[in-house]
Amino acid sequence: MLTMDSKPAMLRIISSAIGVATRAGAEVRQITRTGKLGIVDKGVCDYQTEADRRAQRMIVVSLAKKFPKSIIVGEEDLVDDKKADASLLVEDADESVLSQTLPKEYENVKEEDVTIWIDPLDGTSEFVKGVSYEHVTVLIGISVDGKSVAGIINQPFYGQKVGEEDKTTGRTMWGLVGLGCFGVTPKLMTEDGLVITTTASHGNENIEKSIASLKPDKVLKVGGAGHKVLLVLEGRAHSYVFASAGCKRWDTSAPEAILRSAGGQLTDAFGQTIEYKFRSDGNYQNYLGVIASASPKIHSKVIESIPQEVKDGLKSKSKL
């Protein structure tokens, strides 16, 4: 008989994160159905809705109760996000995770060694504008010693286009570096006909210059860091190119871990690993950009092709 308490912390945290990500995704669908999005403007093309707020509260309240010693960092600045609210507390956990054989390197990881990164709704721009629901994801990343190692992604509207009948139950995927990924089938594209995916709503000259230098055959401009990494993971794009500040650690933690668990890579525009550490100033910008690729070979090619002037520009504006 599997008892949750006797299992290693890493498996227990992933198991609970899958349960709460799935429920948060259902909450996002429910709020969308009501049509009362309660949009708040956080900046230039940066929005927050009631779906972002409720999903974050649900995830924070539920994980903080079970793992009080872990550090939890959420995107939304909500004064009351740890306030107990019975309707938000999720006890669901994915039992199948508990029977996985945990790679040795995680055996001694304790609850207090873990930082949990939450983007309760990634792809809000496209969600608010009604461009696409499929670009929306709920992201929970788990880092240890500054490295993102596990990621849970729920795609609440998987398979549902805007205007189509609302009948999807979404999908939840997860990965642990060294173990593999689950709930999604990674696919490597053939190397000919380079396909790049990038932002639809936060573009700029540096991103354009970086993509142009790759001479791609196709560029998919779509919303969400989580969604773009899924395109790379599932063989619909070779690489996600975002040579710009703008993405934060909660955007990249879960996608990075799930992609790496399948043999891909996600780094900054210099090919350096992104560091996931708590900061008292709350500045979690990925100033040096985000590049994610299906394989190390494609990744090196993309990193090498980013123009030096773009790299210099990113470095000069970094505030970390």
The residues annotated with a catalytic role in the active site are: 52, 124
Q: Output the residue with the shortest Cβ distance to ligand AMP.
A: 246
Residue 201 as a binder of ligand AMP (CB under 6 A): the answer is yes
- HSE-CB at 67 with a 13 A cutoff on CA atoms is 28
Contact residues for 84 (Cβ-Cβ < 8 A; gap 6+): 61, 65
Residue 258 as a binder of ligand AMP (CB under 6 A): the answer is no
In whole angstroms, the minimum distance from the beta carbon of 52 to Mg ion comes to 6
Task: Tokens 């999604």: give the residue.
Answer: 184
User: Of these partners, Mg ion, ligand AMP, none, which one is at the site of residue 205 (CB under 5 to 8 Å by kind)?
Assistant: none
Among residues 80, 82, 58, which one has the least CA distance to residue 71?
82
| Residues from 51 through 70 that contact Mg ion (CB under 5 A) | none
- Of the candidate spans 125-133, 151-159, 194-202, 247-255, the one that interacts with Mg ion by CB under 5 A turns out to be 247-255
| Residues from 70 through 89 that contact Mg ion (CB under 5 A) | 75
| Strand pairing category for 290-293 and 265-267 | antiparallel
- Is 22:183 a contact under the CB 8 Å cutoff? no
- Interaction mask 204-223, ligand AMP, x per CB under 6 A: -------------------x
Show the CA angle centred on residue 214, arms to residues 209 and 220, nearest 5°: 80
Out of 170, 224, 255, 289, name the contact with ligand AMP by CB under 6 A: 224
Out of 81, 251, 256, 268, name the contact with Mg ion by CB under 5 A: 251
CA-based torsion, 210, 214, 218, 220: positive or negative: negative
Q: Is 136 helix (H, G, I), strand (E, B) or coil?
A: coil
For binding to Mg ion (CB under 5 A), which residues are involved? Answer: 75, 119, 121-122, 251
For binding to ligand AMP (CB under 6 A), which residues are involved? Answer: 46, 122-123, 125, 199, 201-202, 223-225, 246-247, 251
